[in-house]
Amino acid sequence: GYRSRAAFKISEIDEKFGFFKKGARVIDLGCAPGGWLQIAVERGVTQLVGVDLLPVDPVAPAHILEMDFTDNACPPRLIELLGGAPDVVLSDMAPNTVGHRETDHLRIVGLIEMGAEFAIEVLKPGGAFVAKAFQGGETADVIARLKKNFDRVVHYKPKASRADSSEVFLVATGFRGR
């Protein structure tokens, strides 16, 4: 079985956009408990690295790093473990909420921005970036930034994402390079 409901979401997203291919290199930000890694491996990805603040049980052959992505030392570690530039950067990172609406909001958008900057920094041309976001979130700036660097940027809500949740995924494909 899959370790998370989130597995079904990435499964649908990949069915629609098709980025899990043999030979693809994938980085998964906020990978615990490992559901997205399971789907990637099941679809033939063999070069993949996940990172999370929390420990994750192995998902062979993925490399898993227990670290804070916002730590400056993390991005180079990810590339080193992957052994080269990624074709796909995924982020399902969600900060722990503190209950203060604006603070929580800024933290969510902050993580999306960091994921997007990282993707733009490291992706191979033609690559893709996926990030969990929330409807009504202040993501206009990051979307504008992504539109400059990718051919196509869309919002996608998989069926596995509850209709009553404001969760929505940003999917950027066709990275144009820096």
**Residue 84, annotated ligand binder?**
no
**Residue 14, annotated ligand binder?**
no
**Residue 92, annotated ligand binder?**
yes
Least Å from the CB of residue 10 to ligand SAM: 7
72 vs 148 by CB, closer to ligand SAM: 72
Q: Which residue has the tokens 């980025």?
A: 19
SS3 state of residue 25: strand
**Residue 104, annotated ligand binder?**
no
Token pair listed for 43: 């679809």
Least Å from the CB of residue 62 to ligand SAM: 12
148 vs 159 by CB, closer to ligand SAM: 159
CA distance 142 to 105: 14
Cα 122 versus chain centre, distance: 13
Token pair listed for 44: 């033939």
Which residue ranges make up the site for ligand SAM (CB under 6 A)? 3-4, 6-7, 30-36, 51-54, 68-70, 92-95
**Residue 115, annotated ligand binder?**
no
125 vs 165 by CB, closer to ligand SAM: 165
Question: Which long-range contacts (C-beta less than 8 Å, at least 24 apart) are formed by 46-55?
Answer: 46/22, 47/23, 47/82, 47/83, 48/82, 49/78, 49/81, 49/82, 51/27, 51/78
Least Å from the CB of residue 172 to ligand SAM: 18
Q: Which of 16, 132, 147, 159 is catalytic?
A: 132
Q: Is 132 a catalytic residue?
A: yes
Going 56 to 59 to 60 to 63, the CA torsion angle's sign is: negative
148 vs 163 by CB, closer to ligand SAM: 163
Q: Which helix (H) or strand (E) holds 169?
A: strand 167-175
Least Å from the CB of residue 125 to ligand SAM: 26
List residues forming the annotated binding site.
Answer: 34, 36, 52, 68, 92
List residues forming the annotated binding site for S-adenosyl-L-methionine.
Answer: 34, 36, 52, 68, 92
Catalytic residues: 132
